[in-house]
Each structure stands twice: as C-alpha cells, then as structure tokens.
Amino acid sequence: MINLEIPKKAKTLVNQAHQAAAEVFRPISRKYDRAEHAYPTELDMLAALLDGLNTSGEGGAGAAGVRRRGDEKETGNRNGGNLSTVLGAIEMCWGDVALLLSMPRQGLGNAAIASVADDEQLERFKGMWAAMAITEPGCGSDSAAITTTATPDGDSYVLNGEKIFVTAGQRADAVVVWATLDKSKGRAAIKSFVVEKGTPGFEIVRLEHKLGIRASDTAVLRFENCRVPKENLLGSPDIDTKKGFAGVMQTFDNTRPLVAAMAVGVARAASEETKRLLDEAGISVDYDQPLATQSAAAATYLQLEADYEAAYLLTLESAWMADNRKPNSLQASMAKAKAGRSVVDITLRCVELAGTLGYTEESLLEKWARDAKILDIFEGTQQIQQLIIARRLLGKTSGELK
C-alpha cells in the first residue's frame, strides 16, 4: 500500500532543505527578482552542499531528479530518491522557486539524464549542469510536432533548429535537446541529445524578460549545423514505431512530479504567509466549524488549504510510485495538473485575502503570484495534462482523442 507520510530517513533532508530555503533563499528572493538575469552567486556554496548529499546517497533537495531502480526482485514498499527529491524541492520552493531553478547542476535536463542515460553516460555527464530544450517557435505543448532535426553523419549527429523558453539556457553547462531523426516517422523518431556549451553551431540568441521566476534565466537557443557525438544521444538510436514516443516521454515521468513539487512549495509559502496576516488581523480560522459559520476570509482560506492538501498528496503519490517501480505517467500528469492549477488559484486568492499587503512589494505574496503561473505551463500545460489524463482513463490513443 502507499504510505504518504514523510519517511524517517527523509526528515533530516527536509529539515536541511527548509533551513536552506529560510536562511539562503528567502533573504535574497526580492533582490534577484529585481535584478533579472543577474546570477545569484550566493547559490554556489549551497549547490556544493547539495552535490555532497547526492554523492552520499542521501538525495539532494534540488531539481536534478533521480534514476529509477530496475531491481524487480525486491519486495515491500520503498521510500527512495524520487520521494526525497520531491520533498526537498517542496521545501526549497517554499523559499524561492526561481532560485531553485538557478541552482548549478539542478536543472531539468539533469532529470532527463537521470531518466534515460546509460551507465556510461551517467558517469560521463556527472557533475554537469544540464538545461532542457523542447519548446520551439512553432511547437509548444505538442512535443511531437518538433521540427529541430538531427541528421546522422559519420560518428556524429548534425542538429539544426531553434529552441525557446529554455530554463537555465545561458548558465547551464549543457542542454538536453529534443530533435527528430526523421520527420516522416512522427513521434517515434524524436530523441534527446546532450549538447555541451561551446559546441560549434550552438548559439544563445537572447534572454527573455518574464512575468515571474526572474532570478532564473530563460534563453532562446539556435543550432546551425551543430555536430554532436553519437554517444551523446540519450537512449536507443533506433526508431521503434511500435514503442512510439515512450522513450523520450519517460523523462516527464521524473520531471512532472518535480514541477508539481515546486508548485506545492510556492502554494504552501503563500498559504502560511496569508494565515499569519489573518491572525494579525484578528481573523480566526476554526478547523472544527463548518465553513458557513465562519467569516468569508476564514472560509476561503480553508478551501485553499484543502486544495493544497490534494495537490500535495498527488505529488507524493507520483514520486512514491516511481520509487516502487510502478508506472506513474498517469499520476505524474495528475499531480502536475492539480498542483499547477492550485498554485495559481491559491497565490492569487492569497493576494486578495491580504489586501494591500498582497499587492505591494512589502510582502512576497505578489512575487509568488507572478512565479506561480509558469508552474502551470512548463513541462506540459494544464490543458495537455488533462488530455493525457483523459486518454489514460478512457484507454484512448493520441490519434483517437485530440
């Protein structure tokens, strides 16, 4: 059975992540929100500490993701690296989601490498900070419509195309690029490639100015006759039309619970700050009384808390399933959909409940409301998650339900 309580062995990690969020992230949160594109140098030492936790096997608190274990003979429940990483990400994003996305070697590309790289690649790319490049000017939520090409040429692939909205695209050491080996083969031909910075033909075009997560750089990348060694392809080079898109989509089984965890962390931050402000205003929230008997502010707050708890539990479930070698694609999308929608609703409603304090820079509530929206968009929009969930529940293919 699924046990969603925080396991004892993860409590130390959760405590350490919360301390880092409170003592490192929170104090500099507003500073780097205003100083968009400036690299937060305070993160270097913290990143080194997280590297140590990952190396020791304790699991880091960042967004790097973890590798699924393949030992099918083991029995019993496992609370492992996926759950620990999700719990750590919740705490860190309670501090600041943009700063977590700015952490060296904690990029979403690292989660992709953890998901599908072989043992040799894992060792070769160890210690590398990897961003993820999927979205294109003409391709957003429909990842299968990718037009960036990867053409075999001797012992290399030649990449041509443009990617947009690449988180940590300028700062990262490498980018995991999704490209197609053969457009006529559709989804099955899409593969992911690790492209290191400095590779000829790899250009950073510009950085975007954004609504939220301003401390994190978001780049536009161009690949023009960019030669990538064949050993930098993640997964099998074979185009298997029966397996289809499953190979590269496995990446999302790791990254979607992480993004859901980020949303849960931001939602909790806003909820706790709003509760503090309500207490100061003399508005009591009574958990033993019906909503109809309480003030409108208290009733609204209780509804937001219920929404938060649902997102939190779905997120832990998706991570637990990964740790216990269970297919979690449906649960990963459910967690991402629920947490992504909830964090937007919760932060905006918290701004309303806080009144003028919620709308000014006197509090971080307005910043969290801006940061929240991206968590409902990247790694698959709200609408795409609902579509995936519907297909899974109804047993429909992408061709049958669009």
CATH superfamily of the domain spanning 246-394: Butyryl-CoA Dehydrogenase, subunit A, domain 3 (1.20.140.10)
Identical fold for domains 130-234 and 246-394, yes or no, is no
Q: Is 379 a catalytic residue?
A: yes
149-153 and 130-133 strand pairing: unpaired
What is the mean pLDDT of the segment spanning 306-335? 94
Which one-letter DSSP state was computed for residue 231? G
CATH architecture of the region 130-234: Beta Barrel (2.40)
Tens digit of each residue's pLDDT (9 = 90 or more) over 124-136: 999 899 999 999 9
The DSSP element (H or E) to which 159 belongs, if any, is strand 156-167
Predicted pLDDT of residue 145: 85
Predicted pLDDT of residue 351: 98
Q: Is the pLDDT of residue 205 over 90?
A: yes
User: Domain-by-domain residue ranges, the chain?
Assistant: 8-124, 130-234, 246-394
Predicted pLDDT of residue 88: 92
What is the mean pLDDT of the segment spanning 249-274? 91
**CATH of the domain spanning 8-124:** 1.10.540
Tens digit of each residue's pLDDT (9 = 90 or more) over 92-119: 999 999 999 999 988 888 888 887 889 9
Tens digit of each residue's pLDDT (9 = 90 or more) over 145-166: 899 999 999 999 999 999 999 9
| Cβ(120)–Cβ(131) below 8 Å | no
Predicted pLDDT of residue 187: 83
What is the mean pLDDT of the segment spanning 258-263? 96
Checking 386-391 for CB contacts under 8 A at 24+ apart, the result is 386/337, 388/329, 388/330, 388/333, 389/330, 389/333, 389/334, 389/337
Q: 74, 280, 379, 400: which is the annotated catalytic residue? A: 379
If DSSP codes are grouped into helix, strand and coil, which group holds residue 139? strand
CA 40, 45, 48, 52 torsion-angle sign = negative
Tens digit of each residue's pLDDT (9 = 90 or more) over 27-65: 999 999 999 999 999 999 888 777 665 555 555 555 555
pTM over 0.75? The answer is yes
Q: Which residues contact 96 (CB under 8 A, 6 or more apart)?
A: 21, 25, 26, 28, 29, 215
Predicted pLDDT of residue 244: 54
Q: How many CB atoms lie within 10 A of CB 64?
A: 27
